[in-house]
Chains A and B, each alone.
Chain A
Amino acid sequence: MLTKRIIPCLDIKDGRTVKGTNFVNLRDAGDPVELAGLYAEQGADELVFLDITATNEKRKTLASLVNRIAHAINIPFTVGGGIASVEDVRVLLDAGADKISVNTAAFKRPDLINELAAAFGSQCIVLAIDAKQHDDGDWYVYLNGGTVSTSAKCTDWAIEGVKRGAGEILLTSMDHDGSKNGFAVDITNKVSSALSVPVIASGGGGTPEHFFEILSQRADAALAASIFHFKEIAIPDLKAFLRKRQIPVR
């Protein structure tokens, strides 16, 4: 049976893993290659690396880091952060990434998704969406690491992204990110129900119960960072907890 995936996320800044709260206050969380190897060994189903300082001059550094990661682990991994062109993606895939995630650049120029899907296939294009709930109760897309608001509704953009060729959606609730108060269940269910592709829930996972809550509903995978980096929950323990509650996990 297809299992629900547990995905540790590593935010990368200047080649180190960092973690903040609500997208700010960054703390050092270790060497990404070392952490990646540890997570793979512990049974992580996939890894996501987001380069939060991605700039053109740093792209080469990122590619060499990606290559080291690819040699260290034998599970799939996604790389994101500042990707804006077919060439950006080619460099990362050639370095050994399995998938890439796009966010702001895709929103600003949606044809990017079509171009990437045509060049590399939908299976390696993850559309990352950072969303926040407004007073009207609806969820809206935010850009540039959550600093720029838009008037686009999260579900509409997810549907359009998939139509254009995104193979998965990584949905981060900015309201929940770093809070450890649980995932955004309602919007994740809504987006997942509207789509034929998997949805990865992100933001707010703080306890095994939170993972059970989100994975027992419509999310296909759950992503978290700090609880894994700071060893608050070990992946084997989390999976044992979920398995006991009838969530299919590897």
Chain B
Amino acid sequence: MKIAIIKYNAGNVKSVEIALERLGVSSLLTDTAEEILSADRVIFPGVGEASSAMRYLKERSLDQVIRGVKQPFLGICLGMQLMCQYSEENNTDCLGIFSEEVKKFNPDVIQLKSPQIGWNNIFDLTSPIFAGVAENSYGYFVHGYYAHLGMHTIAKAAYGMNYSAALSRDNFYGVQFHPEKSAEVGSKIIQNFLDL
């Protein structure tokens, strides 16, 4: 199986590459349309800031490439947020794969620290990528922005309110938490994605 990890200017993709190696599969870090479109699975990781990441993708026409992917596609953390319609982070128009929007945690409203860092429950799991994953399992989250609940929500998390822990539409999946760092639960989710 050929797995492409999209290479762009958002953060640390090494953890994803190594998580795949732990599952016994190798991957290719790439930013070329040909390699992305010919892969069996595409992973779109990312940590960092939305507007500079979107600008980088657009400059290289990777936004068009991503929208055109037909194989199972998984966005992680910022990757998932960039797949949404819009992000409040520097008023960024994103890829629009999911109609949901990304908002900033308001510490005054939620009375909690932001960014959220650590292990939180994922629940109301409704997707094959959560096959064999128990309700209220823990995922590892690091984020100051969140996607609200919407028609594409396939998992929820609660931090002051309920929000989307994962989204999906057709072949596209996005998870807010880091499956590559979420112990056995995370490995199971990645394996499910590879098995789709």
Within 8 A of B (CB), among A174-229: 195-198, 220-221
Q: A96-B15, A123-B142 are in contact. Are A220 and B117 (CB under 8 A)?
A: yes
Query: A74 touches which one: B11, B116, B121, B186 (CB < 8 A)?
Result: B186
Q: A74-B22, A74-B187 are in contact. Are A120 and B118 (CB under 8 A)?
A: no
Q: Contact flags (1/0) for A71-95 with B, using CB distance below 8 Å?
A: 1001110000000000000000111
**Which of B55-63, B88-96, B176-184 interfaces with chain A?**
B176-184
Known pairs A95-B14, A124-B11. 9 more at Cβ < 8 A?
A2-B116, A3-B120, A5-B118, A74-B182, A75-B140, A93-B12, A123-B47, A220-B113, A221-B118
Which B residue sits closest to A40, measured CB to CB? B183
A-binding residues in B (CB < 8 A): 11-12, 14-15, 18-19, 21-22, 47-49, 107, 112-121, 138, 140-142, 158-159, 178, 180-184, 186-187
Q: A76-B140, A93-B12 are in contact. Are A98 and B117 (CB under 8 A)?
A: no
Q: Which residues of A contact B112 (CB under 8 A)?
A: 2
Taking a contact as CB atoms under 8 Å apart, the answer to whether A1 and B187 are in contact is no
Q: How far is the CB of A123 from chain B (nearest CB, A)?
A: 5
Task: Verify if A167 is at the interface (C-beta below 8 Å from B).
Answer: yes
B-binding residues in A (CB < 8 A): 1-5, 40, 45, 70-71, 74-76, 93-96, 98, 120-124, 167-168, 195-198, 220-221, 250
Q: A3-B119, A74-B186, A123-B47 are in contact. Are A98 and B15 (CB under 8 A)?
A: yes
Q: How far is the CB of B114 from chain A (nearest CB, A)?
A: 6
Query: A2 touches which one: B12, B19, B120 (CB < 8 A)?
Result: B120
Taking a contact as CB atoms under 8 Å apart, the answer to whether B119 and A2 are in contact is yes
Taking a contact as CB atoms under 8 Å apart, the answer to whether A121 and B49 are in contact is yes
Q: How far is the CB of A130 from chain B (nearest CB, A)?
A: 21
Q: Which residues of A contact B19 (CB under 8 A)?
A: 74
Which B residue sits closest to A192, measured CB to CB? B113
A-B contact count (CB 8 A): 86
Please measure, in the bound complex, the distance between the C-alpha atom of A135 and the C-alpha atom of B100, giving whole angstroms. Answer: 55
Taking a contact as CB atoms under 8 Å apart, the answer to whether B21 and A71 are in contact is yes
Taking a contact as CB atoms under 8 Å apart, the answer to whether A124 and B119 are in contact is no
Q: 4 tightest CB-CB pairs across the interface, nearest first?
A: A250-B119, A123-B142, A250-B138, A76-B181
Q: How far is the CB of B25 from chain A (nearest CB, A)?
A: 13
Q: Which residues of A contact B142 (CB under 8 A)?
A: 123
Q: Which residues of B contact A250 (CB under 8 A)?
A: 119, 138
Q: Which residues of A contact B186 (CB under 8 A)?
A: 74
Taking a contact as CB atoms under 8 Å apart, the answer to whether B12 and A120 are in contact is yes
Most buried by A among B22, B119, B182: B119
Taking a contact as CB atoms under 8 Å apart, the answer to whether A74 and B138 are in contact is no
Q: Which residues of B contact A168 (CB under 8 A)?
A: 117
Q: A1-B121, A3-B118 are in contact. Are A74 and B113 (CB under 8 A)?
A: no
Taking a contact as CB atoms under 8 Å apart, the answer to whether B181 and A1 are in contact is no
Taking a contact as CB atoms under 8 Å apart, the answer to whether B119 and A70 are in contact is no
Please measure, in the bound complex, the distance between the C-alpha atom of A47 and the C-alpha atom of B135, giving whole angstroms. Answer: 26
